[in-house]
Amino acid sequence: MTDSDAIRRSTERKVPSLSELFLGFLTVAMSGFGGVLPWARHVFVERRGWLDEREFAEALSLCQFLPGPNIVNMGVIIGSRFHGAAGAISAVAGLVGAPLLIFMACGALYGRYGDLALLRGALAGLAAGAAGLLVAMAIKMSLPVIRERNLAPLVFAFAGFVAVGLLRLPLYWVVLVLAPLSIGWAWWRFK
Amino acid sequence: MNDNGAIWSFTLHLALLSLVAVGGVNTIVPELHRQVVEVRGALTDQQFADLFAIGQAAPGPNVLFVTLIGWQLAGFTGALLTAAALCVPTCTITFFVTRVWDRFKDAPWRRATEAGVIPVTIGFVAASAFLIARAADQNIAAFAVTGATAAIALWGRINPLWGLGGAAVLGVAGLV
């Protein structure tokens, strides 16, 4: 980054306070029914101007690369960029705190009324729908790989599906075997 | 069931698992299912699918559905412990990695790692889809709902949550 870049960015970018971080991530968490990341972009890039498009894309690729929930990692990256550890904690608290209370309420309701016919019906429908969302997600992720017309990534994906979905092997072992193979293959191909 | 023992071992397991959840938490759904339903027998197949579905429908990050499992195992404490197990280890790693990451922006190992992780992730997400569908789709109608929701999410111009809402309505009407 050149000096003029740095100056331009520091004047354009608004620096949120700790409470703004908390509220910003709370807003994203509460409006993101069924997936939070698209909302994160909308709120942080378009509405609040904390990051530009490129910074958001970079943060996102880092989140997806690191283990753990993507959006929580996003909170740590954005929060710590502005205010170090305190910023990261504020952002994650906003993201997880209030929804956690709602989830607990849902858990309690499910424990008490989960057997009611009405709720059973709704849950049967929801679960079938949720399965559909996962199917769509798997297909969406596969398409770019299929378009590359390389067999190897598809073999790795299929092996992962069979090992974890059908054979029900422990995930750790599958990751320990498949990830190095797949990464090694990508390394060899990019070389 | 010994609640204390169950929740602590589940918490520990989840903390470790969150560290291999590269590419999002949907990748660890099969392992959670294996642990909670098959190994421990703490939940039935259907309960697991129910909780996953609630997690998709409730406001907030979907990953918090694991706190619903925690709640089923040990109530309030269980939900708090699972939330902590999910967030604390990975947040710590992210906090330190984000400081040095830019340095490796063009490193070949970084590109290879990013590209290599994707196929494995796809396989795991597909396994999650298979397991939740297997638990949820007990009849033709439910199977059709899964297909329709997937189609809306793939090709529809509306928020896929409408598909989820429609599925819930059909369920209440007793059609699924």
pLDDT digits (tens, 9 = 90+) for B95-146: 999 888 878 877 888 888 888 888 998 999 899 999 999 999 989 999 999 9
Instruction: Copy the structure tokens of residue B40.
Output: 């421990």
Percent of chain B with pLDDT over 70: 98
Residue B106 is predicted with a pLDDT of 78
In chain A, the residue whose alpha carbon lies closest to the alpha carbon of B151 is A136
Looking at the complex, report in whole angstroms how far the Cα of residue B17 sits from the nearest Cα belonging to chain A: 8
Residues of A in contact with B22 (CB under 8 A): 65-67, 175, 179
Q: Choose from A81, A92, A158, A164 for mutation: most chain B CBs within 10 A.
A: A164
pLDDT band at B172 (very low <50, low <70, confident <90, very high): very high
- Dist CA A36 CA B4 (whole Å): 33
pLDDT band at A177 (very low <50, low <70, confident <90, very high): very high
Strands (E), chain A: none
Residue A186 is predicted with a pLDDT of 92
Under 8 Å between Cβ of A112 and A50 = no
Under 8 Å between Cβ of B149 and A133 = yes
Looking at per-residue pLDDT, the higher value among A9 and B23 belongs to B23
pLDDT band at B3 (very low <50, low <70, confident <90, very high): low
Residue A9 predicted with pLDDT over 60: no
Residue B159, phi-psi category: left (phi > 0), alpha (psi -120 to 50), beta (remainder): beta
In chain A, the residue whose alpha carbon lies closest to the alpha carbon of B142 is A128
Weakest-pLDDT range from A31-40, B20-29, B68-77: A31-40
Is the Cβ of A49 closer than 8 Å to some Cβ of chain B?
Answer: no
Residue B80 is predicted with a pLDDT of 95
Residue A190 is predicted with a pLDDT of 81
Find the distance separating the first CA and the last CA of chain B, reported in whole Å.
Answer: 33
Domain residues of chain A, as ranges?
1-113, 115-146, 150-191
What SS3 class is residue B161? helix
Residues of B in contact with A158 (CB under 8 A): 123
Residue B158 predicted with pLDDT over 60: yes
Residue A118 predicted with pLDDT over 60: yes
Residue A1 is predicted with a pLDDT of 44
pLDDT band at A33 (very low <50, low <70, confident <90, very high): low
Looking at the complex, report in whole angstroms how far the Cα of residue A42 sits from the nearest Cα belonging to chain B: 15
Question: pTM of the prediction?
Answer: 0.85
Residue B38 identity (one-letter amino acid): E
Residue A7 is predicted with a pLDDT of 47
Span A126-149, average pLDDT? 90
